[in-house]
Structure 1
Amino acid sequence: MKMVLIAAAAATALGSFSAYAAGHSENPMVGGAPMLAERNIIENAVNSADHTTLVAAVQAAGLVDTLQGDGPFTVFAPTNDAFAALPEGTVETLLMPENLETLQKILTCHVVATNAMSDAISTMIADDNGSHPFTTVGGCEFTLTQGEDGTIMIEDGQGRIANVTIADVVQSNGVIHVIDSVLLPAM
Structure 2
Amino acid sequence: MDVRLDVFSSGRFPRWGKGLKLGVGLLLGASLSACGDPDWQGTDWTKNYQDNFETRISARAALMPGSTDQAYQPSPDGTPNSPVAYHAPSMLSYEDRPLNENIAGSLELSDYVKAIQVAKLDPWISGPGPYTLFAFPNAAMERLSARWPGGLLAPANRGQLTHILGYTIAYGKWDEAALRKAIQHNHGHAIGLKTLYGDLLGVQLSPQKGELILENTAGQINRLGSRSFPQSNGILYFTQDTLLPVPVLRPASAGSKNGHH
For the 8 Å contact 1:144–1:152, the answer to whether it is kept is: yes
Instruction: Identify the structure with the greater helix proportion.
Output: 1
Aligned residue pairs total 172
Of the three residues 190, 195, 200, the one matched with 1:136 is: 195
Mapped partners of 2:177, 2:149: distance in 1: 32
For the 8 Å contact 1:106–1:138, the answer to whether it is kept is: no
State the shift of 1:84 in Å: 3.1
Structure 2, unpaired ranges of 5+: 5-26, 33-59, 67-89, 248-261
1:172 and 2:232 aligned: yes
1:64 and 2:99 aligned: no
State the shift of 1:92 in Å: 4.7
1:29 and 2:55 aligned: no
Superposed counterparts of 1:95-106, under 5 Å? 95-106=153-164
- The two structures have a TM-score, normalised by structure 1, of 0.80
CA RMSD of aligned residues (A): 2.4
1:120 and 2:178 aligned: yes
For the 8 Å contact 1:140–1:157, the answer to whether it is kept is: no
**1:11-60 Cα deviation digits (max 9, x unpaired):** 466663879xxxxx653423340111111111111111110110010010
1:81 and 2:139 aligned: yes
For the 8 Å contact 2:95–2:232, the answer to whether it is kept is: yes
In structure 2, give the amino acid aligned to 1:156: N
State the shift of 1:107 in Å: 0.7
Q: Which has the higher contact order (CA 8 A, sep 6+)?
A: 1
- The two structures have a TM-score, normalised by structure 2, of 0.59
User: Which segment drifts farther, 32-41 or 141-150?
Assistant: 141-150
Mapped partners of 1:66, 1:87: distance in 2: 22
For the 8 Å contact 1:140–1:185, the answer to whether it is kept is: yes
Mapped partners of 1:123, 1:160: distance in 2: 23
In structure 2, give the amino acid aligned to 1:27: A
Alignment partner, residue 7 of structure 1 = none
State the shift of 1:139 in Å: 1.7
